[in-house]
Amino acid sequence: MLAKSVCIADTLLYCLQKTRTVRGCHTLSAGACLIESNYRTNGMMRLPGTRLRRRAIQSAVVIWLMALAFVGGNISGYSIRTAMAAEERPAQFPIFWEAWDYVVAHFVDREKVDFTAMTYGAIEGMLASLGDEGHTTFLSPDAVKLHQTSLEGSFEGIGAYVSMEDGNVLIVAPIDGSPAEQAGILAGDIILEVDGESVEGKSLDQVIFLVRGPADSEVVLTVRRPEVQEPLRVSITRDQIEVPSVSWSPIPNTGIAYVKISQFSSGVDRELNAALREISEAQTNQGMILDLRNNPGGYLQQAIQANSQFLPKGDLILIESDANQNQTVHRSRGLGYAREVPLVVLINKGTASAGEITAGALKENERAILIGETTFGTGTVLNQFGLSDGSAILLGVTNWLTPNGNPIKGEGVTPTLEVTQPASTKHVDAEFLKHLTAEQFSAIEDEQFLKALEQLGVELHPSTLLKAAPRDFVTFD
């Protein structure tokens, strides 16, 4: 495996400035990746018409395609054979070459016949047939690079996590402070048009192609919002976006810390460990609010490391179940500073993948109360398998189950205390809380956050400026 296991529910909208012909990947939990990639390495290819030449080309492409499919050695324990014996090939495989021959021999617009695009398209179609919509996907070489960048916290675009759901391009969540959020894009919005062009019938990568563009350029999205009768037109100016994975703040005069994990990107374990150490040293340990709202996921190992900060050594975090029903159990390593502090976790519909793993583990180990809304419902762990030309497939290799054996795919993690609020509600963040005044407290509309404070024993009255009334932490069954 060329990259770590990834749990990603949605896609980051990026722009790729230097590509000509652009195609995309379907997901990045999320998660997570909006990948725009160059499918044509050398432009259009004009094909000669002789049957002998076609056969020679076909033979070369057979070898190349088989290499793409089977070269890669041993990847994260998955043995990839370099060839498949003829008798083991599916009986349907010759049909593919029948279709290929007809295209090469008879398609009228010869300059549009491109072997790279056809091969990549065939791989995309193969993966799409698996039904793991919005998760298992193909990445071109450029997409692989951007996929890695997306999990390192810096990219260029509008700043929104998206997913293909029931044929619709769904906004899972805008990134806090992003151009998308500032323009009014909300979780649950469905993209109908991009710059006046309908997206009906288009794949997610085609929509991504329409949305892409350089920083400081403008794109207009027409979206359908569940509670609004008429479609809305939203103008967004693209920008360079920095996504800090972990941020925190003491809540003034309470002894309670607020911690937000925006995504489980590379380095979250170090960032979270540093934040929790600072919290411990500041003696802000009467309680903690862990905000996982709109967290699209990220690396599985980062989620395991994060859970180990809160759970005693040996506690079950998740169970992976593969195609042969073999199960792998992941347990807490008991690493951190926050294994005893009273803990409330905030979740919503934008909490996905690795975010759901964390929420489910903390809930079912009775370590935390979950407040908010049922999560997104991503239940597949992805592995990235590199192909010989630098492209890759993100493949759902295991389903994951909560510590109690509950599947999450399509169901999500349910909160202990359900608190719903409009998607347009402004969430508190660490920067806001650092300088919180009584007047600002009175104006907070984030009911999920206020309910978390209440559960941690804070008197919700601005005249006392959040004077805490600590009490024993209660775990709800």
CATH number assigned to the domain comprising residue 327: 3.90.226.10
Q: Which two tokens stand for residue 133?
A: 């919509």
Distance between CA atoms of residues 137 and 393, nearest Å: 6
Q: What pLDDT does 208 receive?
A: 74
DSSP secondary structure code for residue 463 in this structure: G
Q: Residue 165 — φ and ψ, nearest 5°?
A: -130, 120
Q: What pLDDT does 78 receive?
A: 43
Strand partners, 297: 8
Using only the alpha carbons of the chain, give its radius of gyration: 24
CB 370 within 8 A of CB 348: no
Distance between CA atoms of residues 401 and 364, nearest Å: 11
Q: What pLDDT does 337 receive?
A: 85
In a domain, 296, yes or no: yes
Strand partners, 56: none
DSSP annotation string for 244-286:
-SEEEEEETTTTEEEEEE--B-TTHHHHHHHHHHHHHHTT--S
Distance between CA atoms of residues 13 and 138, nearest Å: 17
CB 248 within 8 A of CB 262: no
Q: What pLDDT does 126 receive?
A: 93
- Mention every residue, 6+ apart, whose C-beta is less than 8 A from residue 344: 287, 288, 289, 290, 368, 369, 370, 371, 452, 455, 456
Identify the CA nearest to 169 among candidates 109, 211, 119, 123: 211
CB 400 within 8 A of CB 353: no
Count of Cβ atoms closer than 10 Å to residue 184 Cβ: 15
CB 169 within 8 A of CB 221: no
Distance between CA atoms of residues 394 and 1, nearest Å: 10
In a domain, 147, yes or no: no
Q: How far is CA 328 from CA 30, 162, 171, in A?
A: 23, 30, 32
In a domain, 318, yes or no: yes
Distance between CA atoms of residues 143 and 103, nearest Å: 27
In a domain, 416, yes or no: yes
In a domain, 433, yes or no: yes
Residue 350: is it exposed, middle or buried by C-beta count within 10 angstroms (0-12/13-18/19+)? buried
Distance between CA atoms of residues 438 and 434, nearest Å: 13
Q: What pLDDT does 85 receive?
A: 59
In a domain, 417, yes or no: yes
Q: What is the mean pLDDT of each run of 10 residues along the chain (477 residues)?
A: 38 32 30 30 30 39 35 35 58 89 94 92 91 82 73 75 82 84 92 95 76 88 92 95 86 93 92 94 89 92 96 96 93 90 96 95 98 92 92 92 93 97 88 83 93 91 52 40
DSSP annotation string for 306-335:
HHHTTS-TT-EEEEEEETT--EEEEE----
Which of 263-276 are b and which e, b meaning 16 or more Cβ less than 10 Å from the residue's Cβ?
bbbbebbebbbebb
Identify the CA nearest to 384 among candidates 180, 134, 78, 96: 78
Distance between CA atoms of residues 455 and 468, nearest Å: 11
Q: What pLDDT does 105 receive?
A: 94
CB 354 within 8 A of CB 32: no
Q: What pLDDT does 463 receive?
A: 55
Q: Which two tokens stand for residue 82?
A: 């370099």
Is residue 380 within a helix (H) or strand (E), and if so which, with residue range?
strand 380-386
Give the chain's domain count.
1
In a domain, 64, yes or no: no
- For 313, the domain range is 246-382+393-464
Q: What pLDDT does 210 receive?
A: 81
Identify the three-state secondary structure at position 77.
Answer: coil
Q: Which two tokens stand for residue 130?
A: 């698996």
Helices and strands, number each (H, E), in the chain: 12, 25
CB 333 within 8 A of CB 310: no
Q: Residue 90 — φ and ψ, nearest 5°?
A: -60, 145
pTM: 0.67
Count of Cβ atoms closer than 10 Å to residue 472 Cβ: 6
In a domain, 293, yes or no: yes
